[in-house]
Structure 1
Amino acid sequence: MAPTDRSFARRRLLSTAAALSGAALLGGTAHAAETGRHGWPAQFPLPDGFQPEGITIGMKPFAYFGSLANGDIYRANLATGRGSVLSKGPGVGHPTVGLKIDQHCRRLFVAGGDSGEIRTIDARSGELEKVYATGGTFVNDVILTPGAAWFTDSFKPVLYKLLLGPHGTPGAVKTVPLSGDWAQGADFTANGIERTPDGSALLVVNAFANGGGLMRVDPRTGVARTVDLGAARLPNGDGLLLLGRILYAVQQQQNAVDVFRLNEAGTKGTAIARITDPRFRIPTTVAAWGKRLYLPNARFDVEPTPQTEYDVVAVDQV
């Protein structure tokens, strides 16, 4: 299969056994936020056929979603649930997978999936600023740190580092090989990416090593070390979100978000809860506003069509 077909098909076909093993290794379960609290919708639609994957929320109550179908970016008002396409994508073969908005809400950083692209987009006008060709296989997710935007590649043991200037202006892209404990599988391996609580390193989902888990990556050297999560595993780990020392890890095929308390260095995590919700339909990524988490339902268990319905679900933070 082509990289996109292969990766997305694998997401749909991840075994029930793997999903159940991840669930069994965690303790308590938390459930959804009550619907409509404070008058803000706890669920709202995305365009039919959109095929969402990534989400990002900046300093204002607006969420941005990327389309796997054609790279469109949809902007929604969290207070109303209404939105529209902010940026038209490059078309089929140029998806928007992970995306992040900078702290000033001026620029979006986009992981371009099997196009191998990194794209930057003006978050106000939606205009495409620049396209970077990484030579990568599947550029999946992105996190912003002081001085750089970091991207994962799901089929290569590397990270891509897009250098940022003093005012956040993008510069050159560098490839950082992963080593140490990093184990690259024959299929989909690296996925979500975050920073450690103390900001000294990066956290990357590795869906292959040790049955699925987290790696702590030194950004200077690319050396990866396994994060001690006890008996917990992330075989279906996708998007990550760090709030203080609490790490939310979306386990997409399990229709769950596993919650860990990390130490400051991010070398160890303790499983403290699992968030489930009957409205989950294979969520992939997560972002926060106020006391809520927002997750797009990717619906990888159905064959997408232009008429397939997609939506976003809000749940309470732990």
Structure 2
Amino acid sequence: MAGGPSGTARVIDTGSGAITSYALGGAFVNDVVLTRKAAWFTDSGVPRLYRLDRGEGGAPAATATPVTLTGEWVQGTGFGANGIATAPGGKALLVVNSETGKLYRVETTGVATEVDTVSLKAGDGLLRHGRLLYVVRNQEDTVVVLRLDRTGLSGDVVRTITSDDFDVPTTLARFGTHLYLPNARFGTSSPTTADYWITKVRGGRR
């Protein structure tokens, strides 16, 4: 779990329910994706990812490793790295920059290459399903669906998903042919007492 402004990451033991917290020293630890070898976290405040390696039996390592984003990465002055997913083939990562609207393929060394696609400003949660990449644009109340090439270095828009039920969706999960999106309702006047909900929409095919 990404700890947001606390600068931490949390790992839950699904067997015992025990939670282990890792102090990453991050500015805003935003999102996470699991690979076969590690959990990767984004930091929206600085151009950096964190790699938490999986040990024997799948247990996490004692500490996380910071990985600086280099290459073509442009940080900008606002919210930077946000959503993260694996690239096709699973050997690299895809990371969206919320402020600049750019999507990057990021090697495990941190070297980033801009993906040739449309602007994804306000890009938040990412989900890859085969060659389809779902990109939540939170303040736009939309999900952009891209069809990636085999390398993940280009992506064409195949559809845009909207719903009258969206109120600043931030991330998404897929079950069957449907997507499920929690609505953060940023800007609501009473965030502690407001109603919150998850929106179900059709996700389409591969």
- TM bracket, shorter-chain basis: over 0.9
> Which of 298, 302, 306 matches 2:188?
302
Letter in structure 2 aligned against 1:158: R
Q: For residue 158 of structure 1, what is the aligned residue in structure 2?
A: 48
Calculate the aligned-residue CA RMSD, in Å: 1.2
> Which of 289, 296, 300 matches 2:175?
289
Q: For residue 228 of structure 1, what is the aligned residue in structure 2?
A: 116
The within-5 A match list for 1:139-218 is 139-171=29-61, 172-209=63-100, 212-218=101-107
Runs (5+) with no aligned partner, structure 2? none
User: What is the rounded CA distance, in whole Å, between the counterparts of 2:137 and 2:200 in structure 1?
Assistant: 16
Q: Number of residues paired by the alignment?
A: 203
Rate the CA distance shift 1:304–1:120 in 2: closer, same or farther, 3 A: farther
Query: Is the 1:200–1:265 contact (alpha carbons within 8 Å) kept by the matching residues of 2?
Result: no
Query: Is the 2:99–2:122 contact (alpha carbons within 8 Å) kept by the matching residues of 1?
Result: no
TM-aligned CA deviation for residue 125 of structure 1: 4.7
The within-5 A match list for 1:25-44 is none
User: What is the rounded CA distance, in whole Å, between the counterparts of 1:304 and 1:260 in structure 2?
Assistant: 35
TM-aligned CA deviation for residue 264 of structure 1: 1.5
TM-aligned CA deviation for residue 306 of structure 1: 2.8
Query: Is the 2:27–2:46 contact (alpha carbons within 8 Å) kept by the matching residues of 1?
Result: yes
Query: Is the 1:261–1:270 contact (alpha carbons within 8 Å) kept by the matching residues of 2?
Result: yes
Structure 1, residues 49-106: CA drift from partner, whole Å, max 9, x if none? Answer: xxxxxxxxxxxxxxxxxxxxxxxxxxxxxxxxxxxxxxxxxxxxxxxxxxxxxxxxxx
Larger radius of gyration: 1
What secondary structure, in the 3-state scheme, does the structure 2 residue paired with 1:167 have?
A: helix
1:314 aligns with 2:200: yes
What secondary structure, in the 3-state scheme, does the structure 1 residue paired with 2:150 have?
A: coil
What secondary structure, in the 3-state scheme, does the structure 1 residue paired with 2:85 have?
A: strand
User: What is the rounded CA distance, in whole Å, between the counterparts of 1:235 and 1:255 in structure 2?
Assistant: 12
TM-score (structure 1 length as normaliser):
0.62
Query: Is the 2:184–2:196 contact (alpha carbons within 8 Å) kept by the matching residues of 1?
Result: yes
Q: For residue 39 of structure 1, what is the aligned residue in structure 2?
A: none
User: What is the rounded CA distance, in whole Å, between the counterparts of 1:239 and 1:201 in structure 2?
Assistant: 17
Runs (5+) with no aligned partner, structure 1? 1-109
Q: For residue 133 of structure 1, what is the aligned residue in structure 2?
A: 23
TM-aligned CA deviation for residue 147 of structure 1: 0.8
1:240 aligns with 2:126: yes
Q: For residue 103 of structure 1, what is the aligned residue in structure 2?
A: none
Query: Is the 1:190–1:207 contact (alpha carbons within 8 Å) kept by the matching residues of 2?
Result: yes
Letter in structure 2 aligned against 1:311: W
User: What is the rounded CA distance, in whole Å, between the counterparts of 1:216 and 1:280 in structure 2?
Assistant: 28
TM-aligned CA deviation for residue 291 of structure 1: 0.9
Tell me which protein shows more helix as a share of its residues: 1
User: What is the rounded CA distance, in whole Å, between the counterparts of 2:46 and 2:192 in structure 1?
Assistant: 31
Query: Is the 1:111–1:142 contact (alpha carbons within 8 Å) kept by the matching residues of 2?
Result: yes
Aligned sequence identity (%): 49
